Structure 1
Amino acid sequence: MNPDESVVALSGWGRSSHRRSLVRRPVSDEDVIRAVRAAARITVRGAGRSYGDAALPERATVLDMTAHNRVVSFDQLNGIIVVEAGALLRDIIDQTLPIGWLLPVLPGTERITVGGAIASDVHGKNHPGAGSFGQHVLGLSLLRSDGSVDDLSAAQNPDEFWATVGGMGLTGVILRAGIQLRRVETGWATQRRLRTRSMDETLEVLRSLAVRQELDPDLHVVAWLDTHSPGRRLGRAVVDECRPTRAAELPTAVPPYPERRGTRTGRTIRSLPGPGLVCGATIAAASTARWHLSRAREGLLPIGAALCPLDAAESWPAAFGRGGLIQYQLAVPANAEKVLTQVLAHLVARRLTPALSTIKNLGFGTAGPLSFPIHGWTLAVDLPARWLENRDALRTVDELVADAGGRVYLAKDAVVDPVLLRRMYSRLQSWQRTQLRLDPDRLLTSALAERLGLLA
């Protein structure tokens, strides 16, 4: 066995899906090309932060790209950075934030790779104004299964570029990408918090904020729902809005850029034995306490802490015990907000009350056939995987989403019905044709692709 390869037990971040596989860790482009030519089938993996099985193999060698992580160039005048696909978003922020540049889109964590951010076309809490990650990618280099490298951009190769953005790592191996950054004046964010008392009020607040978000790509908004309280209180929420703080707004004693916190990568925390701590009683207590203890306020936070709260919750999957957690994230159009209430009511009625629930506004999506965002709403719920041992447990939810013209997020998925997925992603066949053209040797695969029949 080569020094850069080993047999490793892998899982998604939610720890509900597991595989054991041969893993290769290339450092250079030449290493990646050799690995591609040597393997019968390959699954590309970044930092392993997909919740489900998107970066897990199904009878394939895993290509772990995290050592392929150099910053190739950085134009500090224009805010254009070119990085290898294995670079973490945190690595980019460490280099660019102290000189006034920030990634324009950040999901709930900085600890994903650039390649993973493109393959999942991740979005942040500022989607109505900023769009998703792929909209800020100026170009990328894609290694195809025949060993050739294509330089792709939205202007020159739109079909191949947008098939790769949101393509779940199934069109080829992203080697590097150029990204347009956004100017910021400080490393702080100003956060405002308020509470709502019903789902209707929560949605009304989010609607009003969405109007502002469409005009301001720096405005980030998320609602943390209380899904335990019954009746009219179901869906009451703590709503956070934040934006990068301007220099003139900082108190005199506060430095413009805070010291970076913590370690550079998260420490893996062992799952608690058995069912862990998450059960109906603890969910009820935590949900009620979160709402009652979250008073209206305004304050300063380091920008990473404000925009990437998952990085302060490394122990979250461990709390769900050996079975892990499943996050089900859906999007529905702007005129289908009733589905959000229907989904929550369905879960609560079947004693599947989520351990965590959030709603965000979404703006218009991209040209990517498999990209997740659509103009409207996105609801994400965290559920103990042991509650969903019958994988049809959420089929009714799948049907509600599909009937409304919505979809589920492939980067989070572990349970969606494969037949209904084809209704959710109406351009799947178009994507399959482009994917097969880029990967005629059928080298690229994943457990997600096999489970859902994504490949032609």
Structure 2
Amino acid sequence: MNPDEPTTALSGWGRASHRRGLVRRPVSDDDLVRAIRSAPQVTVRGAGRSYGDAALPDQGTVLDLTAHNQLVSFDQANGVIVIESGALLGDVVEQTLPLGWLPPVLPGTERITVGGAIASDVHGKNHPGAGSFGQHVLWLLLLRSDGTVTQLSAGQDPDGFWATIGGMGLTGIILEAAVQLQRVETGWATRRRHRTRSLDETIEVLRSLAARQELDPELHAVGWLDTHAPGRRLGRAVVDECRPARAADLPPAVPPFPERRGRGSAQGMRSLPGPGVVFGATIAAASSARWHLSVPRSGSLLPLTTALCPLDRAESWPAAFGRGGLVQYQFAVPADGEKVLLQALAYLVGRRMPPALTTLKNLGFGTAGPLSFPIHGWTLAVDLPARWLRDDSPLQALDEMVADAGGRVYLAKDVVVDAELIPRMYPRLDTWRRTQARLDPDRRMTSALAQRLELLS
């Protein structure tokens, strides 16, 4: 990197992790090949929606792939789309939903790139039935650090394919991918809302839903927990279950595919000064209001992407946490690890760190990806002001609880976990390292996350 070239300030979506780096925005495959061959070290970046430092440089050049965003082909008869990795999932939805097709897995936002969805192996609220995003990738083209391009699939270099699925952008640059979409009759969703009165009841409702989800990949479920309610009410929740609406579910005057609104700015508003507006009193008020105002009901009709991608209605959420930003701590534990959920919530509340937002979801069985996050069981995600984590590492005790239970943290969200725990959380790490070294023999792929957690051998 030329020291005289200007660098760009970058951050994770949570705004708690920051780096400066030389950013290149190549458009063509040839530009990408030249860039990767000329840079001693490369960090791949898509839409910048990783909460932590997964798309931030440790050193070297950042390759921003958002201009590499074209639709290559779409087989409307069979629902197979081939698309460049820098396209947003929202771009895919924009082009396919009016034709009756939808990605079978959407996370909380459609503003991530296809490449980012693969590299993080994102999951939605229907994981027990639909699995994660990587399970619907038929093949992908990978630009390796030596400038060669190889096609990977579950049948063609499966080790390389599954090392790239969930591989955090460290095996090479995903150029394009073929993704199998699912049929939908409408662009609407029907939602049923429950309200529980304790964490035990929340777990029971979600466990019952998981049994149905395993047989029905269109069923989505999530619990929004109140972690400020005292005593036995801790973990009471609003539990939403929704599914794509059938044509017969719509009133006569409702068009089958609603008009999509503009996605707005991907940057959001500037961070509020100082600590922002997220602190104990506001968290308590918001948690209580969410539970009390969410009236249980069945049959609510709302746009499908509104139901599946709630983060896109809160684009400026990180700004509310002030200049320090937020940390989302997300972990998964096996199905018999429910006690860890209560222990984690009690630990945070006991340290006067009640989460500003807490979600609980079911997970089905994971993929063959050694670094893919989902395991059969539960995943809990908590949003915390980053300023609470500065003085020491108050989440270390949670890390140990999770690791002892056979669980793991989500690398796409992480910014705090101790590197020594990663081999316990991801027991196939050495297998991944061997494949990563084969695909990246020149040791050019890196990131701040990779260096912090010592992922690379």
TM-score range, shorter chain: over 0.9
SS at match of 1:215: coil
Q: How far did residue 73 of structure 1 move?
A: 0.3
Q: How far did residue 444 of structure 1 move?
A: 0.4
Give yes or no for contact 1:370–1:427 (8 Å, CA) kept in 2.
Answer: yes
Match of 2:170 in 1: 170
Q: How far did residue 266 of structure 1 move?
A: 2.7
Q: How far did residue 391 of structure 1 move?
A: 4.9
Match of 2:344 in 1: 343
Gaps of 5+ in 2: none
| Alignment pair present for 1:324 and 2:332 | no
Match of 1:23 in 2: 23
Tell me the amino acid that sits aligned with residue 121 of structure 1.
Answer: D
Q: How far did residue 267 of structure 1 move?
A: 4.2
- Within 2, Cα distance between the matches of 1:425 and 1:31? 35
Match of 1:254 in 2: 254
- Within 2, Cα distance between the matches of 1:170 and 1:246? 41
- Within 1, Cα distance between the matches of 2:16 and 2:416? 11
Match of 2:137 in 1: 137
| Alignment pair present for 1:66 and 2:66 | yes
| Alignment pair present for 1:156 and 2:156 | yes
| Alignment pair present for 1:333 and 2:334 | yes
Give yes or no for contact 1:171–1:435 (8 Å, CA) kept in 2.
Answer: yes
| Alignment pair present for 1:443 and 2:417 | no
- Within 1, Cα distance between the matches of 2:242 and 2:353? 31
Give yes or no for contact 1:391–1:415 (8 Å, CA) kept in 2.
Answer: no
Q: How far did residue 268 of structure 1 move?
A: 2.5
Match of 1:403 in 2: 404
Deviation readout 1:308-335 (Å, 9 max, x if unpaired):
0000001100000000000000000001
- Within 2, Cα distance between the matches of 1:177 and 1:36? 19
Match of 1:127 in 2: 127
Tell me the amino acid that sits aligned with residue 171 of structure 2.
Answer: T
TM-score (norm 2): 0.98
- In structure 2, relative to structure 1, the CA distance for the partners of 1:10 and 1:443 (3 Å cut) is same
Q: How far did residue 263 of structure 1 move?
A: 3.2
Tell me the amino acid that sits aligned with residue 340 of structure 1.
Answer: L
- In structure 2, relative to structure 1, the CA distance for the partners of 1:434 and 1:361 (3 Å cut) is same
Q: How far did residue 303 of structure 1 move?
A: 0.5
Match of 2:362 in 1: 361
Deviation readout 1:117-176 (Å, 9 max, x if unpaired):
000000000000000000000000000011000100011211000000000000000000
- Within 2, Cα distance between the matches of 1:454 and 1:333? 23
Match of 2:428 in 1: 427
- Within 1, Cα distance between the matches of 2:112 and 2:322? 23
Gaps of 5+ in 1: none
Give yes or no for contact 1:111–1:265 (8 Å, CA) kept in 2.
Answer: no
SS at match of 2:360: strand
Match of 2:193 in 1: 193
- In structure 2, relative to structure 1, the CA distance for the partners of 1:6 and 1:110 (3 Å cut) is farther
Match of 2:214 in 1: 214
- Within 2, Cα distance between the matches of 1:312 and 1:38? 40
| Alignment pair present for 1:241 and 2:257 | no
Tell me the amino acid that sits aligned with residue 200 of structure 2.
Answer: D
Match of 1:50 in 2: 50
**Structure 1 stretch 255-264 or stretch 328-337: which is displaced more?**
255-264
How many aligned residue pairs are there? 454
Percent of aligned pairs with the same residue? 76
Q: How far did residue 38 of structure 1 move?
A: 1.1
- Within 2, Cα distance between the matches of 1:332 and 1:453? 23
Instruction: List structure 1 segments (4+ residues) > 4 angstroms apart after TM superposition.
Output: none
| Alignment pair present for 1:376 and 2:377 | yes
Q: How far did residue 292 of structure 1 move?
A: 0.5
Tell me the amino acid that sits aligned with residue 150 of structure 1.
Answer: T
Match of 2:263 in 1: 263
Deviation readout 1:26-85 (Å, 9 max, x if unpaired):
111111111101111000000000000000001121000000000000000000000000
SS at match of 2:7: strand
Match of 1:86 in 2: 86
Give yes or no for contact 1:271–1:317 (8 Å, CA) kept in 2.
Answer: yes
Q: How far did residue 390 of structure 1 move?
A: 3.3
- In structure 2, relative to structure 1, the CA distance for the partners of 1:12 and 1:391 (3 Å cut) is farther
Deviation readout 1:330-379 (Å, 9 max, x if unpaired):
00000111100000000000011100000000000000000000000000
- Within 1, Cα distance between the matches of 2:429 and 2:264? 37
Match of 2:454 in 1: 453
